[in-house]
Amino acid sequence: MQDDNAISVTWWAGYGPSGSSVPAAIRHAMLMLVGMWYERRMAADSMSGNEIPFGVKSLLDSQKWGSYR
What is the value of pTM for the model shown? 0.65
Neighbours of 56 (CB within 10 A): 19
Q: For residues 6-34, give the mean pLDDT.
A: 89
Q: Is the pLDDT of residue 31 over 60?
A: yes
**Exposure on the CB side of residue 52, measured as CA atoms within 13 A:** 11
Report how far Cα 51 is from the mean position of its chain's Cα atoms: 15
Q: Is the pLDDT of residue 25 over 80?
A: yes
pLDDT band at 24 (very low <50, low <70, confident <90, very high): very high
| Helix axes 24-39 and 54-61, enclosed angle (nearest 10) | 160
Q: Could you tell me the residue ranges of all domains in the chain?
A: 19-61
Q: CB within 8 A of 66, min separation 6: which ones?
A: none
